[in-house]
Structure 1
């Protein structure tokens, strides 16, 4: 669910590094440099990259620029190919039967473990090109004045992917803005010392 929906789940980050003033003029070019690459006509399993906030099919930001008032808005798109397990099992069984028939003609009695692994990989790659990738879009809002970033996902794998790709793109590291991290940004040293010594309360008998 994105930020334009009636409800949305998101993760907050703060930028751990100083943001150089020279970044802002080059930011649109960096987004285009690391934009999403289509894999419809390939057998690749996954692809990800930045796309326009207003149109996930737009990787050149012709629909609208990323600058929106006091925010930078864009999205992380990820396309994933998935082969249903039953389909893979069926076609692997067919491949194994064909291999057994060839072995029988050559006087061989069994298929080696290595050959079975090879057949499974060949079958997977062959099927990959026959399934269209499933697209997913995750909105990103970057508050320029505070350095707070909102990412429209709470999935741990997507959070890791977003953090790593953000750092690769902008050479800036992100820190999840957890309740503790938020308290650390608001409290003084004495208050943080008291916070660190707090013990949880047990409400169950």
Structure 2
């Protein structure tokens, strides 16, 4: 689900820090330098990077716009590879049988089996296509806020890490208590009261 979906899940962030040079160029450079990289035909298990909102599989920020009025809109793409353990087990067993026949032996050592498993895993990982997942990002630079269209823990952690790497700005996740803590309208004693709130069980 994303920005243009009829149903969305949203995580809210406050952006800590400002750019010292051109805002538009700073964002463009950060996005371009951290575009999603392809991991097909590679051993890598995961690749994380930015893509344009309009074109998740053609990550070209020169061709597709990311600036809309006072907002920067783009997507985070996470590509993952994994080989089911049963498939690895099957191919390892077949390779062990083949090795035993070739060497006319009754068994292989533990290290030999480990080497076979490592080679099989690497081979299958290179052959396995990656599974892409895309999450939209809407950044209101003037108000220093970001809406991220996912509440998945792993996706949010990848966003926070890549955002810091790309723009040298820190994202602060907004929960009710963090919003209270950073409020400019609440007094200190009101913040203390909110910090000491505890849940109450209601019984019929």
Q: Is TM-score (shorter-chain normalized) higher than 0.5?
A: yes
Unaligned runs of 5+ in 2: none
Separation in structure 2 between the aligned mates of residue 93 and residue 41 of structure 1, nearest angstrom: 24
Residue aligning to 1:164: 161
Deviation at 1:140, TM superposition (A): 0.7
CA distance in 2, matches of 1:41, 1:126: 9
Q: Separation in 1 of the partners of 2:161 and 2:6?
A: 29
Report the Cα distance in structure 2 between the residues aligned to 1:68 and 1:21, rounded to whole angstroms: 21
Residues 1:111 and 2:108 aligned together: yes
Change (3 A) 1:135 1:90: same
Cα separation, 1, equivalents of 2:145 and 2:161: 17
Scaled by the length of structure 1, the TM-score of the pair is 0.88
Other-structure match for 2:95: 95
Residue number in structure 2 paired with 1:58: 58
How many pairs align? 201
Separation of aligned partners in 2, 1:99 and 1:41:
26
Question: Aligned residue for 2:171?
Answer: 174
Unmatched segments (≥5 aa) in structure 1? none
Match of 1:155 in 2: 152
Any idea what the Cα deviations from partners look like across 1:27-82, whole Å, max 9, x if unmatched? 11221111111122433322121111111123222443211112111111121122
> 2:36 corresponds to which residue?
36
Alignment partner, residue 81 of structure 1: 81
Corresponding residue for residue 202 of structure 1: 201
Aligned CA RMSD, in angstroms, stands at 2.0
